Structure 1
Amino acid sequence: MLTTFPGLESILPLWLQISTAAAWVLLVILIAWGVSRFTNSEPEIIRKIVHIGTGNVILLAWWLNIPAIVGITASILGSIITLLSYIFPILPGINSVGRQSLGTFFYAVSIGILVAWFWYLQQPQYAALGILTMAWGDGLAALIGQRFGKHKYKIFGSNKSWEGSLTMTFISFLISMFILLETQGNTWQTWAISIVVALVATALEAFSFLGIDNLTVPIGSAALAYFLTQILVLNSIAKY
């Protein structure tokens, strides 16, 4: 059964549902532009505003039960725009021309994959879990790590900090807990799955060569939460 907030999708017509999601993304971009234009914020701050802000659109898609084709189409268009932005200054402040990372592209691709997968299964909460883990977990981990990271380590040329990684673990755990508590209740399985997802998401985020973590973290987190739920929760119910 599709897990949504009952009534919202029936109250709002489809065009208004789509407009609401589009308006949110536009608002995030305008905020990022304003911060870039009127403050002396570092480019990384601007990127993380967009990174975190746009990720939250998955909640609107879930709550409003926006059709999968809309999310997939938006993902394809976003992927094309971000690829072009690595060559042309389409998204200044978000991507830098010649920047050695495909993170924004992978981010757009991961949204399309998760929407296609979990809308088909009628389990959109796992798509939300994956995207929000990437948006908030990775976003805050990068900001905390850059500002407060004193204890460094390196994996395949990527500089990380234990402070940033611990932030990733903590935020990933909170996101998993909030979503799974809402959808499957307060059980030991919910806590166990959240802990495992948080640890695996942190490990995946540490391997961020060319921004590949923007693909592996959301898909890996969502897939792990889904399959562990099938094994631990549904099998437990079947025994009774």
Structure 2
Amino acid sequence: MSLTPVIALESAINLELQFAVVGLWLGVVFLLAAWLYRLNPTYSEAVRKVVHIGTGNVILLAWWLDIPAWVGISASIVFSAIAFLSYYFPILPGINGVGRQSWGTFFYAVSIGLLIAAFWPLQQPQFAALGILTMTWGDGLAALVGQRFGKHPYRVWGMQKSWEGSATMFGISYLVCWLIFWAVYGSLWQTWLIPVGVALVATVLEAFSKLGIDNLTVPIGSAACAFLLYNWLHFI
């Protein structure tokens, strides 16, 4: 008797479970965001950060559940299209306002698909996770800290930043990178050194990005930097 139908059935069941776990997590994130927005529409920035940080952690589920690359890439395409349309139609109220001068949500979805396409075939999803989580947590918390506690501003290309926000970006980026390297490679000297370069690259990219493009440059730049540094220093 051929085992092919049995294997196909098991794969289908596994994929359904993966969809269920990811869908449950996203459902919780968007319900929380909707509740905040309904509670007070002026909380739009808080709503965006809840979605920004909450949805980014899907990359960890995709990694841990070994979700196929085609699923992640397909989801990225769908959400990129929704995000693009939301700038012209009220599809995601509280996350994107019609005519809002930022393409951050669109770039966010695109970056996830690009990193999955780059690192899943190499069987090194940790670098995709590193890039997305650096953007998710670093950029998200840097914005909140900068807005709330930024007492020392500076300007880059007409944009106002704060040293407090940039310091948060550097610290969180270092922590994210160190945690992932420690979990995958253990406590090697590269685990402590590489995050310094990654955090510096992420902080500079975040400071010099306009119109939300940091949601693309930060994850791709961070992942590429970590990948290149690891492959270089690994042989020293």
Q: CA deviation at 1:30?
A: 0.7
**Partner residue, 2:166:** 165
TM-score, with length taken from structure 2: 0.93
**Partner residue, 2:85:** 84
**Partner residue, 2:205:** 204
Aligned to 1:43, the other structure's residue is in SS state helix
Give the Cα–Cα distance (whole angstroms) in 1 for the partners of residues 149 and 43 of structure 2.
15
Letter in 2 for 1:161: S
The answer to whether 1:112 aligns with 2:113 is yes
**Partner residue, 1:6:** none
Q: Could you say what the CA RMSD is over the residues aligned between the two structures, in angstroms?
A: 1.4
Alignment of 1:1-240 (within 5 A): 13-39=14-40, 42-233=43-234, 235-236=235-236
**Partner residue, 1:4:** none
Aligned to 1:210, the other structure's residue is in SS state coil
**Partner residue, 1:5:** none
Percent identity (aligned) = 64
Q: CA deviation at 1:41?
A: 5.3
Letter in 2 for 1:51: H
> Are the equivalent residues in 2 in contact too, given 1:35–1:41 (CA < 8 A)?
no
> Are the equivalent residues in 2 in contact too, given 1:28–1:53 (CA < 8 A)?
yes
Give the Cα–Cα distance (whole angstroms) in 2 for the partners of residues 226 and 163 of structure 1.
28
Aligned to 2:120, the other structure's residue is in SS state helix
Aligned to 1:209, the other structure's residue is in SS state coil
Q: CA deviation at 1:22?
A: 1.8
> Are the equivalent residues in 2 in contact too, given 1:158–1:208 (CA < 8 A)?
no
Cα distance per residue 1:139-162 (max 9 Å; x no partner): 000000001101101111221100
Cα distance per residue 1:202-240 (max 9 Å; x no partner): 00000221111000000000011011110001x13xxxx
Give the Cα–Cα distance (whole angstroms) in 1 for the partners of residues 76 and 158 of structure 2.
29
Cα distance per residue 1:46-82 (max 9 Å; x no partner): 1000000000000000000000001000000000000
> Are the equivalent residues in 1 in contact too, given 2:131–2:220 (CA < 8 A)?
yes
> Are the equivalent residues in 1 in contact too, given 2:59–2:129 (CA < 8 A)?
yes
Q: CA deviation at 1:43?
A: 1.1
Aligned to 2:154, the other structure's residue is in SS state strand
TM-score, with length taken from structure 1: 0.91
Q: Label 1:41 to 1:100 Cα distance change in 2 as closer, same or farther (>3 A).
A: closer
Q: CA deviation at 1:40?
A: 6.2
Aligned to 1:159, the other structure's residue is in SS state strand
Give the Cα–Cα distance (whole angstroms) in 1 for the partners of residues 156 and 43 of structure 2.
25
Instruction: Give 5+ residue unaligned stretches, structure 1.
Output: 1-8
> Are the equivalent residues in 2 in contact too, given 1:126–1:222 (CA < 8 A)?
yes
Give the Cα–Cα distance (whole angstroms) in 2 for the partners of residues 109 and 219 of structure 1.
10
> Are the equivalent residues in 2 in contact too, given 1:107–1:214 (CA < 8 A)?
yes
Give the Cα–Cα distance (whole angstroms) in 2 for the partners of residues 22 and 40 of structure 1.
25
Give the Cα–Cα distance (whole angstroms) in 1 for the partners of residues 44 and 69 of structure 2.
32
> Between Structure 1 and Structure 2, how many residues are aligned?
226
**Partner residue, 1:3:** none
Give the Cα–Cα distance (whole angstroms) in 1 for the partners of residues 190 and 71 of structure 2.
33
Give the Cα–Cα distance (whole angstroms) in 1 for the partners of residues 46 and 144 of structure 2.
8
Aligned to 1:154, the other structure's residue is in SS state strand
Letter in 2 for 1:49: V
